[in-house]
Structure 1
Amino acid sequence: MAHPTEEIPGDERGTLLLFVEDQRDAIRTRAQGITAEQAASRPTVSELSLSGLVKHAAEVELNWLRMAQQRDNERSRAPEQWHDGFHLGEDETLESALAFWDDVRAQTVAFVDGVPSLDDTFPLPPAPWFPKADVSVRWMLLHLVREFARHAGHADILRESIDGTKAMG
């Protein structure tokens, strides 16, 4: 994949997509260059693994995209199964999770490129962690930056714990 600045224009829409992509890339690169076992390992007291973070981030992005599109999410799960989103299933690999995220990324970029305005809004389902009002596409992109940045920090710690590789090394 080309560096984001080579493929996204510098207007507001492009700038927001660039920041989302930078945080996506921060998670993805932490999970690459190690074995599947290392990517699935939990080297800290946390239940988090690098492969699980990749899966979670991809599913979160898909969920936000489907809410913005006002479509059903084909990968939704029951609330009590939320933790399954942080672990690869028996038929999943890090490579399949990364490929899935590539597809979600392309869908998100196409959606954002095609939406008439970043001010376009969509409703959220009732949940204590969601705003009570409709949110804009702009808000969604900023939320993805926040979500991915949090998990990029987790990924940095996990990777350094696995093999000593530092994020800015």
Structure 2
Amino acid sequence: MVTHVRAEAQGDERGALISFLAEQRGGIRRALLGLTEEQAASRPSASELSLGGLLKHVAEVEQGWVARAKGEPPAVKRDESNWHECFVLTDGETVAGQLAYWEEVAAETEKFIRAVPSLDDTFPLPDDPWFPPDEAVSMRWLVLHLIRETARHAGHADIVRESLDGKTAFELVAQEQGTTWG
């Protein structure tokens, strides 16, 4: 799994941004540690969110934004007819499959961000009603947006996991490292 960016890559701006994104991905990934598919699909809080659904959403969103920055369409086009599938695993999708997909997406994100000539280069925002018309954003904006999006959902994942079985982010970090917390 992509868990850490090379230490030497963290000294530059791109490396720092990629490291922060990787750190937030880790929060969501850890929230799924040791869960069954049924647990990952459950909604133990007042929210409609599940850990499996959050995983699918962040992988899909990351892929979509990087595709747009490349001038390509997202792998999955969402609209009113299928938006409800954005936060649930459907049609044989599994946590393991989504984790593997997200790892591929993460590798492509890093490769792309490292290859763009400048973080100041821009691409147009999608033609969606919640974005200003004819607006362009920078590659720096792209990575910061992905950090914000992933961090927001990592926080959701913390709450869902703690509601599910009481495990906190600290306990899950310890579990991932093979140690104990507290």
User: TM-score w.r.t. structure 1 length?
Assistant: 0.94
Q: Provide the aligned C-alpha RMSD in A.
A: 1.5
Residue 95 of structure 1: aligned partner: 96
Residues 25, 150 of structure 2: 8 Å contact kept: yes
1:116 aligns with 2:117: yes
Please state how far the C-alpha of 1:38 moved relative to its aligned partner. Answer: 0.5
Aligned length: 169
Give distance in 1, aligned partners of 2:47 and 2:153: 13
- In the TM superposition, what are the counterparts of 1:9-158 in structure 2 within 5 Å? 9-132=10-133, 133-158=135-160
- Letter of the aligned partner of 1:117 in structure 2? S
User: Using a 3 Å threshold, how does the CA distance of structure 1 residues 149 and 93 change in structure 2: closer, same or farther?
Assistant: same
Segments of structure 2 that go 5 or more residues without pairing to the other structure are 172-182
Q: How far did 1:168 drift?
A: 1.9
* Residue in 2 that maps onto 1:6: 6
Larger radius of gyration: 2
TM-score by length of 2: 0.87
Q: Once the two structures are aligned, what percentage of the paired residues are identical?
A: 53
Alpha-carbon deviation of 1:5? 4.5
C-alpha distance in 2 between matches for 1:80 and 1:49: 20
Deviation at 1:78, TM superposition (A): 2.8
* Higher alpha-carbon deviation: 148-157 or 2-11: 2-11
Code of the aligned partner of 2:50: S
